[in-house]
Amino acid sequence: MPKQLATLGGGCFWCTEAIFSELKGIESVQPGYSGGRVPNPSYEQVCTDKTGHAEVVQIVFDDDIITYKDILRVFFSTHDPTQLNRQGEDIGTQYRSIILYHDDKQKREAAEIMQEAKDLWDKPIVTELVMFEQFYPAEDYHKDYFRRNPDKPYCRLVIAPKVEKFRKHFIDMLKSK
């Protein structure tokens, strides 16, 4: 059973998609919405902070190449899980830190990695750990946003530095270019 799903929210999904797309064993990364109560929300609806959804990525990965725990180690190293309902200047519940587990094994492993991640941060981790229910893909213009728009101000000022730091820290886990 090498093909697995992971659903994670660590702030803006443009950032998380850019990071996870570069890891060996990741077959696809789809930005979208999850964790809320409104079916088939639009980006505009999610941005109102009234749908309950977070911006997330749904990752298809090969468990023979990269483990769920390793994905979570990258997750906790590439966003600030101590900020409630925000990442940097991105503020709102849609930017919350959230792990949506797909089964009991993922729940157990996520709890273990959250415990391990406490050593990385000076403040308490506020990442939500909740059962996955539904994923709604984001609109097409969000897919591969960083790769397609490297010169946009948000990409240059926020995503690019985060991706560079990630590449240096996880160099052994990167796909060959």
Catalytic residue numbers, as ranges = 12
Do the Cβ atoms of 42 and 32 come closer than 8 Å? no
65: closest CA among 22, 113, 1, 2?
A: 2
Q: Residue 126, exposed/middle/buried by CB under 10 A (0-12, 13-18, 19+)? A: middle
Residue 77 half-sphere exposure, CB side, CA atoms within 13 Å? 18
Helix (H) or strand (E) holding 165: helix 160-169
Helices 68-77, 104-117: inter-axial angle, 10-degree rounding: 40
Question: What HEC string does 37-77 produce?
Answer: CCCCCCHHHHCCCCCCCEEEEEEEEECCCCCHHHHHHHHHH
